[in-house]
Structure 1
């Protein structure tokens, strides 16, 4: 089974919590704080594995969660970092954000990897908050929560050359004759419902990867038939072999068929329509009329296309076709996907954004967001030293300045989570 899209949930590990601890040893009556720092959570990393060809595994496992960091402990013992979770994907995998559709990463090269979600930082132990005036801090820092999101994985085949054409024109037979691939072949439309890959070995060692793309029909660019699912697989090929049934047995006009397929390519993407094409006039062994072939040949030559008269069933003309394609590939540059950079999500910018907001609810100034949740996990509002630290953190992170810019005055009420207090500058 070939699976070329998958939607999965990913979550990086939470950072562990810092420890609140004090030395309690004989002969050391006033031992200071010795709470250790916690470990960070594991990252979510996607990595290319060239041994994979489909996204089938993701159909059965939808959730991928990295390991949490360990908590700190007494005697300044640091918690262990959580293990990174490496998710292996086949080459040609595009990672998108499921909610916005924005592109996160495009993985094409062997062993290429990208960190999609970073694990939460581990919290500091209370030993890190000791100062000359705060010698026994009774609070520690909690770990930051890991990041999470749903992503869509989309696979585009990485092949040097793609076989395109209407269903049942002989693409699978060509692939089976020139490579070791064994696609399913039968005399009915849509025999191929999944792309097949094979390696073409040619004299001189100039081998290349050939892909049998499922047959296109009119309306494919709108998703009709096998449309969208497989048009994407043509995008990364360097050259296209356009296979046409020249026999005339089914009463089809090869020139019209050629134009219809190219129309579908153009409607889906201008870049596809501009790819170099070599024409394979197949089924010449059962050709009904030389006049039909000659008319087709003249028209293709007028348009500047090289035509090979072949018979995939009898292996006629295939060697010459493959040699020509091999030579052509040497001089054809790799396709450049000119994606708009704004289509890609800048993960670093996302993380650097302010993670709190302030607004007025009647006469109350409300401060909320992940930052507020973190700071309230960190402080003990009933401890005087902890409360002073809380005030410093608010000022250092710009919350006090933003409240003042909104016009807050001394004595007005501020709400953070369930806590309300009077503002005093």
Structure 2
């Protein structure tokens, strides 16, 4: 019989292991000595020690799941419980118990971590849904569309929640994207319709502009082109592939007209500039007739100058008031000379002037006498009133005497 601190072999070859509950049969050994039997079952014990050590390391240093760790522990525990090894089996059981505690602790940690990750994922997805629902109302079609696509990528990178919660949030998220897509599609459909209407309107404007390009009705046509430009701006933009071509045709038609008008106006301006020089020379010649010394000769000379003036034609609009004003000044001077001569040589007018002057002289003399009488009677108020009336009559008399002088005294 052979033995060691943890086991023994009896005379029949039965191997025992010592435990706190007493000896337990490990197995039977008939192939050799008792020492060899103990050594064999001790190696089995060492194998369990190594296996437990490796499992402890895996639990500490790897992401071994709690389920797999528990299965491995139970497998080793079964071997320990079956007493097929010689050694301190209680120590192995203790290590397995501690390992169970570690695995349970890790399980709780992972559960808490998973719960935290789930809460964070829920919060993140709720924020994505909220932002998507806000973007669904946006009219920033390009930027909002790009942002929604980015939100989808972010969503795909987040952990799934429980099926019910995940489906509810995804339904809201998907609905927001669909609502935005529907609004964007409707917007661009409307925009396409507007651009098609603009294209048709601009086609009509181009046709009219091209029909007017050879017109020589400069004023009315230029005014119509201004109206067409206002209508063009009000029509809005056509499709990109049509807009530039329509504009080039529209602008080209205007260019043809305004280039032709420019050439005609340039010729007209040159002619009117020459006309202005001729009229300025006539105005200078007319101004030599003033002051009028020989009315008959001045009248004849001005009539001749005016006939030449009318034959010359138009001058530049901005120069017209000045040069015409010079001729009008001479014309007024001759007219005033004619009026003076007429008054001087008209017997009836002279007689009327003389009669008026005599009447005023009589009235002035009468007032003076009345004033003297009032003063003598001590009636100063009446005298002052008559004096004021006298001043008015005297002014009229002075004017009448001056007019009478124009008739030759």
Bin the TM-score by the shorter chain: under 0.3
- With CA pairs under 8 Å and 6+ residues apart, which has the higher RCO, 1 or 2? 1
Q: Normalized against structure 2, the TM-score is what?
A: 0.19
Whose strand fraction is larger, Structure 1's or Structure 2's? 1
Q: Normalized against structure 1, the TM-score is what?
A: 0.19
Whose helix fraction is larger, Structure 1's or Structure 2's? 2
Q: Which has the larger radius of gyration?
A: 2
